[in-house]
């Protein structure tokens, strides 16, 4: 009963298009990472570390779980990353008093001060894209919708249909 699907000549086109789309996304992300890498080197931050700092600059202080919710990252990724940010002197981690399971991450003076040096980064990145603010905003919106849609997909659905 699934023969009609796997023999569909459209699938050939999909495979070709897929080649281009998934590669484009992959390549765009890595290109972005590369440009950020250059911009962030002087701050001593990697790109994911910069994301965490952005969140902390906005919220001041958050539990690890709160950072993870905002960046969709789990403790397996955040724990070592935060340990490195702490070693760099940009954040402090302290066990919460109310809930001993929770760890609160707070900016140090150095971490707060780093924001001043980071202010120039986004403008430079935006310039490198060659897009104006409106176009960047639209791209952001599209990617946001796409990510939300994909995050809502049941993995088993996709797996089941591709067996």
Binding residues (CB under 7 A) for DNA: these are 26, 30, 33-34, 37, 46-49, 63-65, 68, 72-84, 93, 98-103
| 8 Å CB contact between 103 and 96 | yes
Q: What are the residues facing 105 on neighbouring strands?
A: 62, 93
Among 44, 46, 47, 65, binds a second copy (CB under 8 A): 47
Cα dist from 41 to 25, 44, 113, 121, 129, whole Å:
24, 5, 16, 11, 19
Q: Near a second copy by CB under 8 A, which window of 19-27, 79-87, 90-98, 100-108?
A: 19-27
* Structure-token pair, residue 148: 């939300």
CA distance 93 to 86: 7
Biggest alpha carbon–alpha carbon distance for the chain = 64
By a kind-dependent CB cut-off of 5 to 8 A, residue 107 interacts, out of a second copy, DNA, none, with none
By a kind-dependent CB cut-off of 5 to 8 A, residue 46 interacts, out of DNA, a second copy, none, with DNA
The three-class DSSP label of residue 102 is coil
CA distance 133 to 35: 18
Among 60, 80, 89, 137, binds a second copy (CB under 8 A): 137
Q: In whole angstroms, how close is the CB of 90 to DNA at the nearest point? A: 12
Please, which residue, 5 or 95, has the CB nearer to a second copy? 5
CA distance 117 to 80: 24
Please, which residue, 29 or 75, has the CB nearer to a second copy? 29
By a kind-dependent CB cut-off of 5 to 8 A, residue 64 interacts, out of a second copy, DNA, none, with DNA
Tell me if 36 contacts a second copy by CB under 8 A: yes
Length of the chain: 163
Tell me if 27 contacts a second copy by CB under 8 A: yes
By a kind-dependent CB cut-off of 5 to 8 A, residue 44 interacts, out of DNA, a second copy, none, with none
């Amino acid at each position: 009963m699934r023969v009609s699907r796997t023999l569909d000549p459209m699938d050939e086109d999909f495979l070709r298009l897929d080649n281009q789309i998934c590669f484009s996304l992959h390549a765009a992300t890595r290109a972005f990472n590369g440009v950020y890498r250059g911009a962030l080197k002087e701050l001593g931050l990697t790109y994911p570390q910069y994301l965490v700092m952005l969140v902390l600059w906005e919220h001041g202080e958050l539990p690890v779980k709160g950072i993870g919710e905002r960046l969709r990252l789990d403790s397996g990724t955040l724990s070592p990353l935060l340990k490195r940010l702490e070693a760099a002197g940009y954040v402090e981690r302290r066990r919460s008093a109310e809930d001993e399971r929770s760890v609160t991450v707070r900016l140090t003076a150095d971490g707060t001060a780093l924001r001043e040096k980071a202010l120039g980064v986004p403008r430079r990145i935006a310039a490198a894209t060659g897009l104006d603010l409106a176009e960047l905003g639209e791209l952001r919106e599209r990617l946001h919708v796409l990510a939300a849609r994909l995050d809502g997909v049941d993995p088993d659905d996709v797996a089941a249909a591709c067996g």
